[in-house]
Every structure is written in C-alpha cells, then in structure tokens.
Amino acid sequence: MAHPLLSRITSDPAIFGGKPIIRGQRFAVEHLLDYLAGGMTEAELLKEFPFLEPDDIRAALLYAGRLSGMTRMSGASLAAAYETADR
C-alpha cells in the first residue's frame, strides 16, 4: 500500500516533461532534494518557497528513498551513472 504522503508527489507532462513534482506545482522533487543536499534546512526551504508545506519535504524524501530502493546498479559507480543520466 502506498504511503499517504506519496499523494503529494504528482506528474504532469506539461510541467518539467513529466518529472515528479510537488502537488502539481512547478517545483520538481529533484530540485527540493538538491536544496536539501546542498545544506538548506527545512525551515529555510519553507521560508524561501512559501507554497511548500513540511509534509511536502517529507514526501520528497520518502519518494527518493522508495525510488533508490528500486534501483539496482551493477558494475558502475553512482557518480558515473549520474554523469550519463538523462537529466
């Protein structure tokens, strides 16, 4: 069964080519994760992007965790895979 938070992650072909976004907003999950990885805190994100809600951040983290659990790498480093990925 899907976690209720995952309903916050949507996709629309007209927004970022169908990449996962937050609640239909023009804000991609990957951008939120990049901000967090860059050191931005939850409080800073919520202040900088007032349309975000705390559960949006949790949903993005949950989505990333579930997605990474589905990915299998064989013989390649994550850095190499990232460099060749279609972004």
Domain ranges of the chain: 4-69
pLDDT in the model for residue 68: 79
Q: Give the pLDDT band of residue 34 (cuts 50, 70, 90).
A: very high
pLDDT in the model for residue 9: 97
Instruction: Give the CATH number of domain 4-69; options: 3.20.130.10, 1.10.10.10, 2.120.10.70, 3.40.50.2300.
Output: 1.10.10.10
| Alpha helices for the chain (secondary structure H) | 29-37, 42-48, 54-70, 78-84
Q: Kindly tell me if the per-residue pLDDT of 86 is higher than 90.
A: no
pLDDT in the model for residue 71: 63
Helix H or strand E segment including 22: strand 21-22
Report helix, strand or coil for 3.
Answer: coil
Q: Kindly tell me if the per-residue pLDDT of 26 is higher than 70.
A: yes
Phi, psi torsion values for 35, nearest 5 degrees: -60, -45
Q: Quick one: average pLDDT of 42-60?
A: 98
Arithmetic mean of pLDDT over the chain? 88
pLDDT in the model for residue 22: 97
